[in-house]
């Protein structure tokens, strides 16, 4: 299992060997934004010029081979997973009347997108029942076991079997850079138990820990019955010229997207 960089018309994104349908994890490369948003920024509410963001979306869709509108959500670091249908598709800057940090669908040609800039993007695919999902896992969502909720939503909504689902855990902040306090460590321990969470927390003393959110989410997916889990090794903070990193930029940044479509 591995992730591969692909570049189409100067726009670079990552794909996972585990996901055989249209998908991609975008990088900072290949857009038209300027200044602190240079160059592929997909953020609609971060201060970038709307015309530049719209052009970035156009380029991203062209590179991934997506023709129609995407399904977005208003992310709030929660654990709500929404079943998406054609009525949820929208264009950039159209209003969104719901909050969710995960999307699932079984409709062909309906692309889902979630956003991250250090948080962990997760894409799900079931080739048997023909369904896909996209999940945004910050530390709160991770502690809320949102990865498992994404799997459960596909089981509930489409009759998927966890063993048929494949997962790609995309680029996000790694344990090399993600220093957290006792509150985050305690939340992860509370969610999974000390023995399960322990390998993903390294104490630095003084109530500080280095946390491995990608590893934790991969564990949650496997515990939920997902047997094939691909984990991207790249850290968004270490590789801050390639990826948007909230911590590195102290919030002055754009966002990358994770997209999947049947």
Structure confidence by residue, pLDDT tens digits, 6-23:
999 999 999 999 999 999
How far apart CA 213 and CA 215 sit, in angstroms, is 5
In a domain, 13, yes or no: yes
Cis omega before residue 61 (within 30°)? no
Q: What is the CATH number of the domain that holds 8?
A: 3.60.140.10
Residue 186 lies inside a defined structural domain of this protein: no
Average pLDDT over residues 132-159: 98
For residue 46, the enclosing domain spans 3-172+227-261
- Count Cβ atoms below 10 Å from residue 95 Cβ, excluding itself: 6
Give tens-digit pLDDT for 194-231: 999 999 999 999 999 999 999 999 999 999 999 999 99
**140, containing H or E segment:** helix 139-143
- 181 is a domain residue: no
How far is residue 245's CA from residue 174's CA, in Å, rounded to a whole number? 11
Q: What is the mean pLDDT of residues 16-41?
A: 98
Name the E strands within the chain: 3-8, 11-16, 22-26, 70-71, 81-83, 89-90, 102-105, 112-116, 120-126, 131-137, 165-169, 179-180, 201-205, 208-211, 228-231, 256-261
198 domain residue, yes or no: no
- Residue 160, domain member (yes or no): yes
Nearest partner of 92 among 150, 52, 128, 121, judged by Cα: 52
Torsion sign across C-alpha atoms 93, 38, 180, 135:
positive
Q: Mean of the per-residue pLDDT values for the chain?
A: 97
Average pLDDT estimate for 231-243? 98
Inter-residue contact 117 to 241 (CB < 8 Å): no
pLDDT at 1: 59
Give how far Cα 174 sits from Cα of 22, 118, 131, 232, Å. Answer: 26, 8, 29, 10
Contact (CB, 8 A) for 146 and 137: yes
Q: Are 84 and 105 in contact (CB under 8 A)?
A: yes
Q: Please say whether the beta carbons of 120 and 172 come within 8 A.
A: yes
Q: What is the pLDDT of residue 119?
A: 98
Computed over its alpha carbons, how large is the radius of gyration of the chain? 17
- Structural domains in the chain (count): 1
Q: Determine how β-strand 131-137 pairs with β-strand 179-180.
A: unpaired
In the prediction, which pLDDT does 60 show?
A: 98
- Whole-angstrom Cα distance, residue 120 to residue 144? 13
Burial class (CB in 10 A: 0-12, 13-18, 19+), 81: buried
Residue 161 inside a domain? The answer is yes
Cβ-proximal residues to 247 (8 Å cutoff; 6+ apart), any chain: 118, 173, 177, 178, 237
> pTM of this prediction?
0.98
């Amino acid at each position: 299992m591995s992730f591969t960089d692909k570049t189409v018309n100067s726009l670079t994104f990552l794909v996972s060997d585990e996901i055989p349908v249209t998908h991609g994890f975008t990088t900072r490369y290949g857009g038209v934004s300027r200044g602190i948003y240079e160059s592929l920024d997909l953020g609609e509410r971060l201060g970038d010029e709307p015309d530049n963001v719209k052009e970035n979306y156009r380029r991203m869709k062209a590179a991934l081979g997506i023709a129609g509108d995407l399904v977005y959500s208003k992310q709030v670091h929660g654990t709500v997973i929404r079943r998406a249908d054609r009525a949820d598709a929208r264009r950039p800057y159209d209003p969104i009347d719901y909050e969710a940090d995960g999307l699932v669908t079984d409709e062909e040609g309906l692309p889902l997108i979630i956003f991250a800039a250090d948080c962990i993007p997760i894409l799900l695919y079931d080739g048997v029942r023909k369904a896909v999902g996209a999940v945004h896992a910050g530390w709160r969502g991770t502690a809320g076991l949102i990865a498992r909720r994404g799997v459960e939503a596909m089981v509930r909504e489409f009759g998927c079997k966890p063993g048929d689902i494949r997962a790609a855990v995309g680029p996000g902040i790694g344990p090399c850079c993600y220093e957290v306090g006792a509150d985050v460590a305690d939340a992860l321990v509370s969610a999974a138990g000390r023995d399960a969470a322990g390998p993903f927390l390294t104490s630095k003393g003084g109530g500080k820990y280095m946390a491995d959110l990608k590893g934790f989410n991969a564990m949650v997916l496997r515990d939920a019955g997902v047997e094939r889990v691909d984990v991207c090794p790249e850290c968004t903070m270490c590789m801050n010229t390639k990826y948007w990193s909230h911590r590195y930029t102290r919030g002055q940044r754009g966002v990358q997207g994770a997209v999947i479509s049947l």
